[in-house]
Structure 1
């Protein structure tokens, strides 16, 4: 039995995985969808990037989880990638879902130079938080109007410090067993840093013909990919 620890990206909480977890359970595995500090039902909790890393590590250690598959979507790839190396032998695999991967000394905004000014402006304007997207900004991502409404309705402002603080890695990310899921409606190819990591035999690439939020647009297919990534 694998233990899937599921972490969604900016603005989202554990609820984002509601349509994925039944498929994992049906296959006989345990699911642990996690809300990061400062988001969803944890709004108001102070949060920097290392807080989010510790959220994930503590979930694994508190529950004494083994055979862990850490899953990070979008922004969450940064804290998930750091947590993956910190849980040691408990880790079975890390799965990055159309995400930014951590680089030592680099932040979310430094990894996304084209969007840095926009993100930092939103943080300054909104009291230290990145404001959620509007419905129109989800167009072209393979989502129905109902799915977009669900995402927008559940989103909460994202703590800005988690996006501007640098990642801290003790060893090269390529040493971890990893799967990278590329959602093709959000770009045909992974970023250059991910392409470089995929040259390592421990990394695998899986493509999904959907947008950046596959837990909403294709939850069954995403669950299947996660099970395959875990070797189940």
Structure 2
């Protein structure tokens, strides 16, 4: 038995894993979907990047979890990657689901064009929060209309500081036991179906594995059963 700690991407909360959780629990594992500070049912809680890292570490320590598989989707790969090295021998594996990966001294928006200038401007215009995405943002990602409606309905503004604060890593991320799940829609051009350069470099490590899913960026909605199988397989690597 392992303990999955599931952390969804920007604007989302623990609810985003509702369709994945039953499959993991049916396999006999502990499952702990987590809402980060300032989001979903924790709206109003002030948060920066360090807050989100501590949210994850605190959940592991509060529940006394061991054999932990930390799962970070999209934005949450940044705090999950930092938390993974801070929970020490409690960690079994970290899984990045179509996620950003942290670089010491860099923020989530650092890798965006112009250093994420558009995101930073949007945060400034919206009282320090990145506003929820419109329904059109989810087009072409293998989602049904109902799934898109759930995403739009459940999303909340994302605390801006968590996107612009730098990550802090004590050691090389490549040394962590990790699986990277790359989501690629069928028919995607070959040049667009490869990991980003920073991920590709990490995948050169013997500690990292690559898994590809034929779906869009939100597999917990579009392919929850298949994503659960990927997570279960990663847990025994």
Shorter-chain TM-score: which interval? over 0.9
Q: Is the 8 A contact 1:77 1:100 kept in 2?
A: yes
Q: Tell me what 2:225 maps to.
A: 220
What SS does the aligned partner of 1:41 have? helix
Matched, 1:203 2:170: no
Match runs of 1:135-214 below 5 Å? 135-185=135-185, 187-214=192-219
C-alpha displacement of 1:114: 5.7
Q: TM-score, normalised by structure 2?
A: 0.96
- How many angstroms apart in 2 are the aligned matches of 1:100 and 1:130? 17
Which moves more between the two structures, 115-124 or 46-55?
115-124
Q: Check if 1:94 corresponds to 2:94.
A: yes
Q: Find the counterpart in structure 1 of residue 85 from structure 2.
A: 85
Q: Secondary structure of 1:148's partner?
A: helix
Give the Å deviation of 1:115.
Answer: 7.2
Indicate yes or no: 2:108 matched with 1:108. Answer: yes
Task: Tell me what 1:44 maps to.
Answer: 44
For normalisation by structure 1, the TM-score amounts to 0.98
SS, match of residue 99 in structure 1: coil
Q: Which residue of 2 aligns with 1:59?
A: 59
CA RMSD in angstroms, aligned pairs only: 1.1
Partner of 2:234: 229
Change beyond 3 A, Cα 1:88–1:196: same
Q: Deviations over 1:11-61 (max 9, x none)?
A: 000000000000000000010000000000000000000000000000000
User: Could you list the runs of 5+ residues in structure 2 that have no partner in the other structure?
Assistant: none
Residues 130-160 of structure 1: CA deviation (Å, up to 9, x unaligned): 0111001110000000000000000000000
Cα offset, 1:121, TM superposition: 1.6
Q: Report what 1:74 is aligned to.
A: 74
Q: How many residues align?
A: 232
Show the counterpart of 1:5: 5
| 1:192-224 C-alpha deviation (Å, 9 max, x unpaired) | 000000000110000000000000000000000
Task: Give, in angstroms, the shift of residue 108 of structure 1.
Answer: 0.4
How far has the Cα of 1:72 moved from its partner?
0.1
Offset of residue 111 of structure 1 = 2.1
C-alpha deviation, 1:122, in angstroms: 1.1
Give 1:83 shift.
0.1
